[in-house]
Structure 1
Amino acid sequence: MNRFNVALNINDEIYQVEIRPFSTLLSILRLQLGLTGAKPGCLNGDCGACTVMIDGLPYKSCIILAIEAAGKKIITIEGLKNTPIQHAFIEQFAFQCGYCTPGFIMNCQALISKDQNPSKETIKEWLSSNICRCTSYEEIEKALLSVIEHNNRNE
């Protein structure tokens, strides 16, 4: 089977990885690089537990091939250490079991990076791309809103 050596820019570090043409970004992150924050859930792009940011936008890493991410800037939950959105999730108790939390944090970070004052409709639309089976949606929305409000106060 053909294998390719590619450079992936992940959390501002360059990783040289050997991939197969069918390797997903999620499998490379978890199995080759030990970046286990992105979680395997549905493995078909529905749940969002595997969400990462690629060039500032949220992507489901279970359905993007690793080769497609070469040459792009990838941020995983490990790259968001001690960010306001992570602290907001803790302060608002925006998690229960925590399995979906990294994906939601990545999605929220992508939203506030793209739109610093999103409408309620935009927030609901972005949050609908991820699934929480423990029903923490209200707390997740509160965490996101707290960061937005804090950012708006500090402008």
Structure 2
Amino acid sequence: MLNMFNLEGKVAMVTGGNVGIGNALAMGLAKAGADLFIFTYNDDNMENVIKEVEGLGRKVAYATGDLSQEDVAMEAVSKCIEAFGRVDILVNNAGTIKRSPILEGPNSDWQQVIDLNLSSIYYLSKTASIEMKKQGGGKIINIASMLSFQGGKFV
């Protein structure tokens, strides 16, 4: 079945690709033949990710940083280019939620959610698009939580 999705010679950058859904997406891309660049908040589980990806015969590199910071998000794609010379697929998977009643939660929590869940996607996609245009194309995949479709109790 993966032959339908042959990604040999492609480089996929996955944010949050070290754990959870991002890790499953990264492994699927590697199984389809893509080399991986993982950008993550921390290096939790990266040793296992590296072993698994290399066990598939694929190359893997990673960098850590806080994508809610504009300068970090703007630099993230450059780190992929430094490691592999290209980016063919960008998976914007990293995200966060801060749960607290609206009257108790600090505004800084709200800003961090907006910066990571929205602004980083803009900066990453813009930067990747510049590189993809030079290469003659690429794909950008944005992941959203089911919480983006439903409300919650705020008071």
TM-score between the two structures when normalised by the length of structure 2: 0.31
Name the one with the larger helix percent: 2
